[in-house]
Amino acid sequence: MKKKDKTIKQEEEQIQSDVSPDDITDTKSSKSKKAKKASNAEKLDDLQTKYNELNDKYLRLYSDFDNFRKRKAKEFTDIIMTASKELVVDLLPVLDDFERALQAMKEHDADEESIKGTELIYNKLHNLLKQRGLTPMDSMGKEFDTDWHEAITNIPAPSKDLKGKVVDVIQKGYLLNDTIIRYAKVVVGN
């Protein structure tokens, strides 16, 4: 047994000589290095999460502001386009009266100077309103559409191809910047 004890003691001494005190501190420092790395990794993950949240908030705020800016620009453009709408609507009866006056003057053989003078004033008014975005509807012979026309009456269609179409225009319809400001009053063929 003494031999066995001796060999065990020799092996223990050998192991102790193989494991120096420096190795023990190295394992302790490697454990602390691993702990520091794990701690740093957690901090990095937390910082990355915070960064992602802040970046997401920034992108949402930026897109909200961009949408707000576009909406306000569109509203401003719409206001400019329709700022004179009330005035244009109030001038439409005057435009209609000029058209009726010209037609009456031509039917009753008025002198040429009067017709030219009236046409000149009518053209100035019409061109001024046209520059502001006023366009007359062309309804004659078109398919009757309740989105554009107001039917005053139905009459028997003079021909089969005029069935359901506008046969006569009683009052012109107008658009202001592609928005209907007055529906055309029409007679529809039935």
For residue 133, is it left (φ>0), alpha (ψ between -120 and 50) or beta?
A: left
Q: What is the pLDDT at residue 12? A: 61
Q: What is the pLDDT at residue 8? A: 63
Q: What is the pLDDT at residue 161? A: 85
pTM of full prediction above 0.75: no
Q: What are the b/e assignments for 139-164, b being 16+ CB within 10 Å?
A: beeeebeeebbebeeeeeeeeeebee
- According to DSSP, the β-strands at 184-189 and 149-155 are parallel
What is the pLDDT tens value at each position of the chain, 190 positions in all? 555 566 666 666 665 555 555 555 555 566 778 888 888 889 999 999 999 999 999 999 999 999 999 999 999 988 877 778 888 999 999 999 999 999 999 999 889 999 999 999 999 999 999 998 899 999 898 899 889 999 999 998 888 888 889 999 999 999 988 889 999 999 999 8
Q: Which H/E stretch holds residue 126?
A: helix 112-131
Q: What is the pLDDT at residue 18? A: 56
Greatest CA separation found in the chain?
152
- According to DSSP, the β-strands at 184-189 and 166-171 are antiparallel
* C-alpha span between 160 and 15 (Å, rounded): 116
Contact status, residue 153 vs residue 189, Cβ threshold 8 Å: no
- According to DSSP, the β-strands at 134-136 and 149-155 are unpaired
Q: What is the pLDDT at residue 6? A: 61
Q: What are the b/e assignments for 77-88, b being 16+ CB within 10 Å?
A: eeeeeeeebeeb
- DSSP 8-state symbol, 1: -
Q: What is the pLDDT at residue 7? A: 64
- DSSP 8-state symbol, 180: E
Q: What is the pLDDT at residue 178? A: 85
Radius of gyration of the chain (CA): 46
